[in-house]
Amino acid sequence: MSENRREFFRVIFDRTISGEVSIYGKNLPIKIDNVSVGGLEFNSPIDIPMHQKVECSFNILEVSFSIDASIVRKATKNTYFAYGVVFDIDQETSSLLFKQLNFYQIRQRKGNNLV
């Protein structure tokens, strides 16, 4: 049995959510698989180098987030790349994101429409 080494709980979305990553002065659309206070996982057709600094933008229950991050994991899939990023996040944003993820997870467990 594998041990969970994550510091923060992670919300895994039933369907990917849309977001953007800012890199090289451009905003690129991404599909986000999951989010925690520490980072997120996303898919993109764009080949981004490891350790690249990016800015991730997304909404959780109508609250917008724009958080600086770094690419820490990269995997090649059939027609896209899967990335893991770690956030460089301040305490205020971290608290707000934690709150929104908690609300989202509660609604998800209750089966509420989250679209």
Domain 10-105: top CATH class: mainly beta
In the chain, what are the domain boundaries?
A: 10-105
- Band the pLDDT of 113: cuts 50, 70, 90: low
> According to the 3-state scheme, what is the secondary structure of the chain?
CCCCCCCCCEEEEEEEEEEEEEECCEEEEEEEEEEECCEEEEEECCCCCCCCEEEEEEEECCEEEEEEEEEEEEEECCCCEEEEEEEECCHHHHHHHHHHHHHHHHHHHHCCCCC
pLDDT in tens, 80-92: 999 999 999 999 9
The predicted model scores a pTM of 0.85
Question: Distance (Å, rounded) from C-alpha 8 to C-alpha 40?
Answer: 11
pLDDT in tens, 26-43: 999 999 999 999 999 999
For residue 12, give Cα distances in angstroms to 32, 34, 49, 50, 82. 9, 4, 25, 23, 15
The predicted model gives 55-68 an average pLDDT of: 95
